[in-house]
Amino acid sequence: MVLGSYRRISMSRIFEITQQIKSYLPKADVELINRAYVFAAHAHARQRRSSGDLYIMHPLAVAKNLVDLKLDVSSVVTGLLHDTVEDTHVTITDIEQRFGEEIARLVDGVTKVGKIHFRSSEHKKAENFRKMIMATAQDLRVLMVKLADRLHNMETLHFMPERKRQRIAIETMEIYAPLAHRLGIHWVKQRMEDLAFAHIEPEAYQALSEKLADKIDFLQQTQSRLEGILQEVLSRQGIEAQVQGRMKHMYSLHQKMQRKHLDFDEIFDFIAFRVIVDDTPSCYQVLGMIHSLYRPVPGRFKDYIALPKPNGYQSLQTAVIGPDNFRIEVQIRTESMHKYAEDGVASHWLYKSDDPKALKDQQNFQWLKQLTELLQTAENPGEFLENVRLDLFVQEVYVFTRDGDLFALPRGSTTLDFAYAIHTDVGNRCVGMRINGEHADFHYKLCNGDQIEVLTSTEQTPSRKWLNIVQTPRARQSIRHWFREQERETAIQLGEHLLQHAIGVDFIHQGILDFAACDDVEALHEKLGRGDLEVTDLLAFVNKGLSKSSVRSSLAHVFMQASSCCYPIPGDTVVGSFEAGKGFLLHDAQCPMVFKSDAQRWIDVDWNASSDALYKTGIEVFSQNQRGSLGLITSCVSEQAANIADLKIEQRPGALSSLYFLLEVQDRTHLARIFKALKAMPHVAKVRRHIPQQMPQSQASSRLSSMMRSVTSFGQQLGQSIKDKTTRKKP
Ligand code: MN
């Protein structure tokens, strides 16, 4: 085709458009539309569509769709200009200078929405994408232009390469047709669905087309016959009504066959009828007449007048068995219900712009104000609001990773929330971010469409300050969990240490885990480390048959070693510490060793007697130098069931000797009995504990009460942070 004839066609198209808009907006600024056409034709002059058409034919088709939707001048101008910024050298500033701020904003919106691409592998996010498109659109008219644009692209999709065709068809089916449905623009939805269906399931589409072609004559005859019957019946009753028969669109037939597992021959309701009357009471009157004429199909009557659909749709719907057992669906509605059902939100806009005040507003379109007015007139404000409020009702912000993955986060979320939304580890290691390529801090609040790159470092760990920054429960929980996890690791380490020295790792078998109600050894370590399980209880279980008190001493036996520098015995006030290669060594609390080393390593221990074990300790007996006195003393010790491990004799001035014994005794009680027996001997002047590096006794007793901690507090103490550990005072 030569350029001249294209020009003639496009000129006649723009004339058609301006004529059409004048039919519903008599004062429409046609001059602005013409200027936009000339500007767009010039900008796209060197471009052609895949079809071979001059590019300007596309914006013209979009503008035509927009006047079919009876939209305002700004929308139609935007339709003409919508691809100039994306595809030509024209900038938004150029548009603003020539066509004003409002149209520049609309064109910018369409350009932005056009950059959002839905990837079919992410079907589950389709609803988020729809919301995001609505949020990005900001102004409902942006969305209308986008739908008009997509509709024409679908009509010319067969010129595109196969790969692109699939993507665009799926996106249309998943995103744009449901959007059109949501906005109540029924015809756009149906056309989009049929066009997408042809590309997504070509075989099914082809098969259905062929079967319909065979039947089309019969269906058309049936349709016009039924139209005649219904029209006649209604006029006989004095009801003025338009009766329109229509074929169901292909995709809805296909869906029905799929959903109900029907063959083509099993479908009886190819045709639907619409009866349009003047007012609501007439709707119910017509319903009654049709039901008395033909037998209704049970369960198929729906009153969407009393209870409109969420997108605002209103009608009475029924299905009846018509002549020749032909099943027919009937929709009954008023003219305004019909307009809404066909054009959705657009019809509301037109309806309002009919009155002079709204026409005046049109010069300076205030969407929000109009919306408020719409809400006041809507039959069901709540549902209407939900469907048209766009940006306002969207509680989320939609942002992307650097790779283009979409994330929906609550309004007010920060970059740190985003990092945690990607992955807990990404959050924990986050050191900063780049938003749309520029550095931003943790406090930055996310905006729709932000592309975010999270910077991480393996050195980074969460800070408690982050709890004040994050807004999402997920991020908050992750940070708290991290801190709990740190405490847990400390507890595990300490519990493991405790176990190694208490019973030895070899002892841990399933029975122990069952007893401790732990799934694994790590859990056992943690439980011990936190003090949730007493070491003594565990040992009582390990040494079955022993009482808890006897276990305390067997614990002492297995676990604790009395140090050989001060020879403490059970019942003494002792402290202990772990020593490499020796285990847990107990010292007398007053032993100089205790004061020589770091106070923080000493742990108070309540060391109780064992029934069988014997412990070494030293005593000094002052005895008169009498013949046979040593023999009497050693027999006395033996009678008290103590062993003598070592003995030294030291002559003192005068008649006394000091006898130093290293005894093996059970505990302090046992030693006290020995002392008592010895003191009862006539030649014994005095008996006392003798420990190498003896400390004054008075100091030891003064500290006794503060030392009375049980060994079980050991675990609890360790479970806390090392820093929290009580510091010992030196006397
Ligand atoms: Mn376009």
Provide the Cα torsion 428, 434, 440, 445; round to 10°.
-80
DSSP 280-310: HHHHHHHHHHHHHHSEEPTT--EETTTS--T
Ligand 1 centroid distance, CA of 83 (Å)? 5
Ligand 1 centroid distance, CA of 336 (Å)? 31
Is residue 47 predicted with pLDDT exceeding 80? yes
Instruction: Please name the helix (run of DSSP H) or strand (run of DSSP E) that holds residue 383, with its range, or none.
Output: helix 381-388
Lowest mean pLDDT among 507-511, 586-590, 645-649: 507-511
Lowest mean pLDDT among 19-28, 139-148, 176-185: 176-185
Backbone angles phi, psi at 428, to 5 degrees: -60, -30
Ligand 1 centroid distance, CA of 69 (Å)? 17
Longest dimension (CA), the chain: 148
Average pLDDT over residues 31-41: 95
Ligand 1 centroid distance, CA of 103 (Å)? 16
Average pLDDT over residues 289-318: 83
Band of residue 585 on the pLDDT scale cut at 50, 70, 90? confident
Contacts 24+ apart (CB under 8 A), 103-109: 103/74, 103/77, 103/78, 105/139, 106/74, 106/75, 106/78, 106/139, 106/141, 106/142, 106/145, 107/78, 107/81, 107/82, 109/136, 109/137, 109/138, 109/139, 109/142
- Strand ranges, E, within 589-679: 603-605, 615-624, 643-651, 656-665
- Residue 346: the pLDDT is 60
- Residue 291: the pLDDT is 87
Ligand 1 centroid distance, CA of 41 (Å)? 13
pLDDT per position as a tens digit, 167-218: 899 989 988 898 887 776 788 999 999 999 999 999 999 999 998 888 888 8
Ligand 1 centroid distance, CA of 57 (Å)? 10
- Residue 365: the pLDDT is 32
Closest CA to 474 of 418, 519, 514: 418
CB count in 10 Å sphere of residue 397: 21
Residues, CB within 5 angstroms of ligand 1 (ion): 83, 149
Q: With contact defined as beta carbons under 8 Å apart, do 118 and 398 qualify?
A: no
Average pLDDT over residues 161-165: 88
455: β partners = 432
Instruction: Find the length of the chain.
Output: 731
Lowest mean pLDDT among 28-37, 115-124, 237-246, 516-525: 115-124
3-state DSSP assignment of residue 23: helix
pLDDT per position as a tens digit, 348-392: 554 344 444 444 333 323 333 444 444 444 444 334 433 444 444
pLDDT per position as a tens digit, 681-728: 988 989 999 875 443 333 332 222 222 222 333 333 333 322 233 333
Is residue 434 predicted with pLDDT exceeding 70? yes
Active site residues: 86-87
* Range with the largest mean pLDDT of 381-385, 446-450, 552-556: 446-450
Report the distance separating Cα 528 and Cα 225, nearest Å.
87
pLDDT per position as a tens digit, 455-488: 999 989 998 889 999 988 889 888 988 888 877 8
Angle at 660 between CA 655 and CA 665, to 5 degrees: 135
- Residue 657: the pLDDT is 86
3-state DSSP assignment of residue 533: coil
Ligand 1 centroid distance, CA of 48 (Å)? 12
Ligand 1 centroid distance, CA of 152 (Å)? 8
Closest CA to 644 of 610, 678, 596: 678
- Residue 367: the pLDDT is 39
pLDDT per position as a tens digit, 236-290: 888 888 998 888 889 989 998 888 888 887 777 788 889 999 998 889 888 888 8
* Range with the largest mean pLDDT of 156-170, 334-348, 404-418: 156-170
Average pLDDT over residues 121-125: 54
Query: For the chain, what is the mean pLDDT?
Result: 78
- Percent of the chain predicted with pLDDT > 70: 76
Ligand 1 centroid distance, CA of 140 (Å)? 17
Lowest mean pLDDT among 553-562, 650-659, 704-713: 704-713
Q: How is residue 264 annotated by DSSP?
A: G
- Residue 727: the pLDDT is 32
- Residue 378: the pLDDT is 45
528-557 burial, b at 16+ Cβ within 10 Å, e below that, comes to bbbbbbbbbebbbbbbeebeeebbbbbbbb
Ligand 1 centroid distance, CA of 141 (Å)? 15
**What pTM does this model have?**
0.53
Is residue 522 predicted with pLDDT exceeding 50? yes
Report the distance separating Cα 152 and Cα 62, nearest Å.
6
